[in-house]
């Protein structure tokens, strides 16, 4: 990853997935590595994805209208909403405001 210009980072988790995260960051985004034990489906290497949105309030409205549970996380320099694997086809799905 370093050969691709990524900067390594270890930090307290900013998600409901894991208490600590190993990450590689670029100005355009990040890749976060978590323990295999947090995976919901055996053999699936991706356990979560982040979707950048313009308005988090719009996401909350849509989730509420469709009775989809979520967890709102603040701190770590960002505010985001997480939908759990039971409601997101086996993945943790983060909606983060730009």
Q: Is the pLDDT of residue 59 over 90?
A: yes
CATH code where residue 45 lies: 3.10.180.10
Per-residue CA distances from 94 to 5, 15, 64, 68 (Å): 25, 9, 16, 13
What would the mean pLDDT of 58-78 be, rounded to a whole number? Answer: 90
Q: Residue 21's domain spans which residues? A: 2-97
Total domains in the chain come to 1
The pLDDT of 52-61, averaged and rounded, is: 94
pLDDT tens digit sequence for 16-29? 877 777 778 887 77
- Kindly indicate the confidence band of residue 41, based on its pLDDT and cuts at 50, 70 and 90: low
């Amino acid at each position: 990853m370093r050969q691709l210009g990524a900067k390594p980072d270890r930090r307290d988790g900013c998600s409901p997935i894991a208490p600590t995260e190993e990450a590689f960051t670029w100005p355009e985004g990040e890749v976060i590595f978590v323990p295999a034990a947090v995976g919901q489906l055996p053999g699936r290497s991706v356990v979560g994805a982040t979707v950048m949105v313009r308005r988090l309030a719009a996401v909350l409205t849509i989730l509420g209208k469709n009775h989809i549970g979520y967890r709102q996380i603040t701190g770590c320099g960002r505010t985001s909403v997480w939908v759990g694997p039971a409601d997101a086809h086996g993945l943790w799905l983060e909606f983060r405001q730009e």
